[in-house]
Amino acid sequence: MLHLQLDPSSGIPIYRQMMDQIQRYIVLGAIGPGDQLPSIRALAEQLRVNPTTVVKAYTELEHTGIIERQHGRGVFVHRQVNDVLERRRDGLNAVGGLDQEATQLVFRALELGLDPTAVRAVVEDAIKHIMGGDG
């Protein structure tokens, strides 16, 4: 079962928080290719969100090739999800190896007990500071 932690006050849309956390489960190997995800209704009830929010998150993940919907069967992690993630990593490597640095940042943040929303906020604050937006 997915244990997603949503923070409505974070400024990050709920569907995006869901997407990020599902992707994290996949990257960390907690769920893998072919694993079934909760139904839209079940996840909406678990998280106490509108089913439309779950649909939006699942639709976005489906468009990126992370998950696939199988009519009448449910929602599953795409069997080639590792290929999709590898292509993303390759793209990031082309931008100066940022994927390795980002991965180190995420693992360090997890060691400190931070959730993805907090990590994102730290990165966004750093960007604002560097760009002169926190003045």
pLDDT tens readout for residues 109-135: 877 788 888 888 888 887 877 776 554
For domain 14-131, give the fold: Arc Repressor Mutant, subunit A (1.10.10)
Q: State the sign of the Cα–Cα–Cα–Cα dihedral 117, 122, 123, 125.
A: positive
Please provide the average confidence, as pLDDT, over all residues in the chain: 84
Neighbours of 44 (CB within 10 A): 17
Mention every residue, 6+ apart, whose C-beta is less than 8 A from residue 134: 125, 128
Q: Do residues 103 and 63 touch, judged by C-beta distance below 8 A?
A: no
Predicted TM-score (pTM) above 0.85: no
76 forms beta bridges with 36, 68
| 3-state secondary structure labels for all residues of 57-75 | HHHHHHHCCCEEEECCCEE
Percentage of the chain exceeding pLDDT 70: 87
Confidence check: pLDDT of 89 > 70: no
Confidence check: pLDDT of 94 > 60: no
Please spell the DSSP secondary structure of 8-42, one letter per residue.
Answer: TTSSS-HHHHHHHHHHHHHHTTSS-TTPEEPPHHH
Residue extents of the structural domains in the chain? 14-131
